[in-house]
C-alpha cells in the first residue's frame, strides 16, 4: 500500500508556539514543534495514525515500558534548502532500523506506509520549524513503547508508536575529549547493542558521568570480553585516521549500524580515501598517537553529524591529537551537509523531498 493511501486523523494546534522559540539559542531536544504523531497497536493490529498538538499523554503506572524497558527509538533530521524545500536524508534506513530494533525487543514492526504517510504529514504541518542555514535542522524522534497494563514479566500486547520533532542546531558546539573504556561495557555478544533500545543509553549514563567528572566528554566503548578493541562512542560511531587511511570498526550485534557512518564510508570511497573496516585495537591507536601517525579521530551520528575528538585518555595517560590542516572530518562533514541541504547533486539517491 502506498503511503498516500493511508488515512490519518489530524487535529491541528489552534495557535502555533513558534514565535516563543529563540532559534538562535536552542538547547538540543528541549523545544518541540507544534504537532506529534501517535499510533496504537491493539488486538494485533496497528490502528489509524493520529497527528495532534504536542503535549502530555497518560499511561497506566503498570504500563510495561516502565517495568521491562520495551522501548526503541530512532534519530533523523529534516533539512531546508535555500528554496524552502524540505528534505529527509536516507529515511528508509531509519525506518528499517527501527523495525530491526523492534524485532529484537519483541515489539511488532511498524508498517512502512503508516510511517512515511504520518512523517510527511507531520513535516508539512510543521514546515516553518525547519529553518534554513548550515547547521539548522528539525530533529525527528520516532519511538515505540509498550503500553499494556500489567507487571507480569512478558512482552506487551499493546504498543504506541510516536514521532516528535525538535528544532536543532549542532549537538556538539566544540571538539570533544574522550576516554577509552576499560571498566564498563556498552554491549555484549548476543545482546541488543545493534538496536536503538532505550536501555542501551540509560546504562551508559553512569560511566559517562564518571568520565565527565574527569573533564572528559564521552567514552569510546571497547569490546566487553577483553577491552582490547575500540567500537563506538556513547552517541556516535567512531573513525580513526592513521596516516592517510581511515579505520572504523565493523558493525556486529554490539555496534549500531549508523546511517551517517555508512554515508561517510561511501563518501570516502568516492574521494579515493582508503577505509579499513576491521577491528581497531586500543594498542594500535595508542601506538599511532605516540608515533605521530594518528592524525585525527572523529565521531559520526545523526545528532552529532561529524564531531572532532581533540584528545583521548587511556591508562590514566591523556593524548592530545594534532590540529592538522584539511582534516578528513571537516572535509566529509561539508560533503555530507552539501547533500543534506541540497547544495549539490545527490548522486547516490539518498535524499527524499517532502515539500
Q: Are 329 and 181 contained in the same domain? A: yes
Which of the four pLDDT bands, split at 50, 70 and 90, describes residue 171?
confident
Domain that holds residue 278: 176-340
Question: Are the C-beta atoms of residues 50 and 9 closer than 8 Å to each other?
Answer: yes
* Structure confidence by residue, pLDDT tens digits, 243-288: 999 999 999 989 999 999 999 999 999 999 999 999 999 999 999 9
Whether residue 345 is contained in a domain is answered as: no
Residues 335 and 310 in one domain: yes
Task: Select from 115, 134, 168 the last residue of a domain.
Answer: 168
Q: In the predicted model, is pLDDT for residue 3 greater than 70?
A: no
In the chain, the number of structural domains is 2
Q: 237-242 and 86-89: which strand pairing?
A: unpaired
For residues 261 and 149, membership in a common domain is answered with no
Nine-digit cell at 5?
Answer: 493511501
Query: Does residue 4 surpass a pLDDT of 80?
Result: no
Residue 189 CA: distances (Å) to CA of 97, 182, 185, 194, 229: 19, 17, 11, 10, 14
Instruction: For residue 346, tell me if it sits in a domain.
Output: no
Element (H, E) at 214: none
302-333 pLDDT per residue, tens: 988 999 999 999 999 999 999 999 999 999 99
Amino acid at each position: 500500500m502506498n503511503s498516500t493511501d493511508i488515512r490519518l486523523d489530524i487535529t491541528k494546534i489552534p495557535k502555533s508556539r513558534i514565535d516563543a522559540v529563540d532559534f538562535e539559542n536552542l538547547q538540543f531536544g528541549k523545544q518541540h514543534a507544534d504537532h506529534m504523531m501517535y499510533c496504537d497497536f491493539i488486538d494485533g493490529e496497528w490502528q489509524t495514525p493520529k497527528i495532534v498538538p504536542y503535549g502530555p499523554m497518560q499511561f497506566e503506572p503498570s504500563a510495561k515500558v516502565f517495568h521491562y524497558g520495551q522501548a526503541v527509538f530512532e534519530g533523523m533530521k529534516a533539512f531546508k534548502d535555500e528554496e524552502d524545500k524540505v528534505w529527509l536524508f536516507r529515511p528508509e534506513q531509519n525506518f528499517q532500523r527501527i523495525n530491526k530494533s523492534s524485532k529484537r525487543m519483541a515489539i511488532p514492526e511498524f508498517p512502512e506506509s503508516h510511517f512515511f504517510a504520518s512523517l510527511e504529514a507531520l513535516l508539512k504541518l510543521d514546515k516553518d520549524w525547519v529553518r534554513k542555514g548550515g547547521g539548522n535542522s528539525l530533529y525527528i524522534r520516532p519511538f515505540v513503547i509498550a503500553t499494556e497494563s500489567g507487571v507480569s514479566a512478558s512482552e506487551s500486547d499493546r504498543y504506541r508508536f510516536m514521532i516528535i520533532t525538535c528544532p536543532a542546531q549542532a549537538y556538539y558546539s566544540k571538539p570533544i575529549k574522550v576516554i577509552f573504556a576499560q571498566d564498563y561495557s556498552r554491549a555484549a555478544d548476543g545482546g541488543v547493542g545493534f538496536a536503538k533500545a532505550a536501555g542501551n543509553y540509560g546504562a551508559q549514563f553512569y560511566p559517562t558521568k564518571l568520565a565527565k567528572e574527569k573533564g572528559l566528554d564521552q567514552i569510546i566503548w571497547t569490546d566487553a570480553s577483553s577491552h582490547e578493541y575500540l567500537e563506538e562512542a556513547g552517541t556516535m560511531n567512531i573513525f580513526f585516521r592513521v596516516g592517510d587511511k581511515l579505520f572504523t570498526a565493523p558493525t556486529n550485534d554490539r555496534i549500531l549500524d549508523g546511517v551517517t557512518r555508512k554515508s561517510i564510508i561511501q563518501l570516502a570511497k568516492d574521494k579515493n580515501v582508503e577505509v579499513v573496516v576491521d577491528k581497531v585495537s586500543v594498542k594500535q591507536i595508542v601506538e599511532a598517537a605516540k608515533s605521530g601517525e594518528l592524525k585525527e579521530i572523529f565521531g559520526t551520528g545523526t545528532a552529532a553529524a561529524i564531531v572532532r575528538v581533540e584528545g583521548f585518555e587511556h591508562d590514566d595517560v591523556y593524548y592530545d591529537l594534532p590540529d592538522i590542516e584539511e582534516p578528513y572530518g571537516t572535509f566529509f562533514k561539508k560533503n555530507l551537509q552539501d547533500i543534506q541541504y541540497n547544495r549539490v547533486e545527490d548522486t547516490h539517491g539518498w535524499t527524499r523531498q517532502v515539500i
